[in-house]
Amino acid sequence: MRKGQNPAKFVKDVARPERVTVALLNYIPFLSGFYAETLDVLKVSLDSMRKDAGLPFDLMVFDNGSCPEVREYLVKEKEEGRIQYLILSEKNMGKGGAWNVMLTGAPGEIIAYTDADVLFSPNWLSRSVELLETFPNVGMVTARPFRTPPEFYESTLKWAKENATLEEGQFIPWETFLEFNLSLGQTEEENRKVYSETSDWRMVYKGVTALAGASHWQFTAYKSTLQQFLPFDMNKPMGQVRQLDKRMNDAGLLRLMVSDPLAMNMSNTLGYLRGELGKERGKKKAGFGKRVLEVGFIKKILLAVYNRIFSWYYS
């Protein structure tokens, strides 16, 4: 039997969410090996996104089954008011499963999604929202120009040829192009060939400049647009995330990038901040042991053993 009245009945106002929800997906199963520096990477990412984003936002973090140390850090951040919404998943649901929860549950009209290893520059959010609001029928905006597969922005080019000023050329500077690709573990040598054989598409609409392309690792979009592509049925934790890129292009939506680098992939280390990307330029030939490890069949065997051990512990 109820006694008295629920005090909540007398509350006249409730907090309203910000128009933009930044949604970050995190997964750090342990703090050694590949993941040794990833908690530090996460901290740097969070600090950089909050510093002069250009627009107010609420932060939602979905943790996809990380180790206790990481969960404790995130709970502390939530308790101290630096995370507005925190979801702690008991198990790794994969990126698709996490997206189904995040992109449905984020309260903002606009969702700015990011992986947990992205370093942001000032005004990254305001510049992204500017493109989202200026161009019509936008699917997603990424806060960095880089070269993406042309088959994923065919609809963008089709629209731009009829409605905007469109140019093809080398609009992404070589250093900006190389910086991003080195963070993915590629070499300068292989990228020189790619850079010389590919190009960028730049469009101007209502005085605002964008490049064609976008990507699933970081994007800003209207929540109502993202709802069209849910749920995601991905049967692997990674490797199928380009479904979103393809679906948006197939639906005729624009996929855009800002014209200068306002987001950077740090990957699993702080090497970018330490200036280690590109140190191979002029570096002496690798030692014998390193060269042996790079031999095709040896590398394949060792990586297979690593993957098997990983799956024993974390599958």
Instruction: Find the CATH number of the domain harbouring 98.
Output: 3.90.550.10
Please tell me the least confidently modeled range out of 17-26, 87-96, 215-224, 296-305.
296-305
DSSP string for 263-292: EEE-TTSSTTTTT-TTTTTTPPPPPHHHHH
19 phi and psi angles, rounded to 5 deg: -65, -30
**In the prediction, which pLDDT does 65 show?**
96
Other CB atoms closer than 10 Å to residue 221's CB: what's the count?
Answer: 24
- Residue at 208 is within a domain: yes
- pLDDT bracket for residue 198 (50, 70, 90): very high
- Residue at 127 is within a domain: yes
**Average pLDDT for residues 188-213, to the nearest whole number?**
95
Q: Tell me if the bond preceding 231 is cis, omega within 30° of 0.
A: yes
Cα–Cα distances (Å) from 106 to 24, 36, 71, 174, 186, in that order, read 11, 30, 20, 37, 34
One-letter amino acid of 135? F
- 282 pLDDT more than 50: no
**In the prediction, which pLDDT does 184 show?**
84
Percent residues over pLDDT 90 in the chain: 69
**In the prediction, which pLDDT does 283 show?**
47
CA-to-CA distance for 144 and 159, rounded, in angstroms? 21
Q: Which of 45, 173, 59 is nearest to 111 (CA)?
A: 59
DSSP string for the chain: ---S--GGGG--------SEEEEEEE----SSGGGTTHHHHHHHHHHHHHTT-SS--EEEEEE-S--HHHHHHHHHHHHTTS-SEEEE-SS--HHHHHHHHHHHH--SSEEEEEETTEEE-TTHHHHHHHHHHHSSSEEEEESS-----GGGSHHHHHHHHHHSEEEEE--S-HHHHHHHHHHTT--HHHHHHHHHH--EEEEEETTEEEEE--BTTEEEEEHHHHGGGPPP--SSSSS-THHHHHHHHHTT-EEEE-SS--EEE-TTSSTTTTT-TTTTTTPPPPPHHHHHHTSHHHHHHHHHHHHHHHHHHH-
Please tell me the least confidently modeled range out of 12-21, 198-207, 277-286, 298-307.
277-286
- 302 pLDDT more than 60: yes
Q: Which of 130, 107, 127, 104 is nearest to 231 (CA)?
A: 104
- Residue at 278 is within a domain: no
- Residue at 186 is within a domain: yes
Task: Count structural domains, the chain.
Answer: 1
Give me 275's structure tokens: 């200036």
- Residue at 41 is within a domain: yes
- pLDDT bracket for residue 281 (50, 70, 90): very low
Give me 87's structure tokens: 């979801």
**Average pLDDT for residues 99-126, to the nearest whole number?**
97
- Residue at 244 is within a domain: yes
What is the tens place of the pLDDT at every residue in 8-28?
655 666 688 999 999 999 999
**Average pLDDT for residues 228-256, to the nearest whole number?**
82
Percent residues over pLDDT 70 in the chain: 82
What is the tens place of the pLDDT at every residue in 23-46?
999 999 999 998 999 999 999 999
- Do 160 and 201 meet the contact criterion of CB atoms below 8 Å apart? yes
- Do 58 and 23 meet the contact criterion of CB atoms below 8 Å apart? no
CA-to-CA distance for 64 and 291, rounded, in angstroms? 36
175 phi and psi angles, rounded to 5 deg: -65, -40
- pLDDT bracket for residue 291 (50, 70, 90): low
Structural domain of 100: 20-265
Instruction: Report strand pairing: 200-205 vs 165-169.
Output: antiparallel
- pLDDT bracket for residue 231 (50, 70, 90): confident
- Residue at 118 is within a domain: yes
- pLDDT bracket for residue 202 (50, 70, 90): very high
- pLDDT bracket for residue 258 (50, 70, 90): very high
- Residue at 105 is within a domain: yes
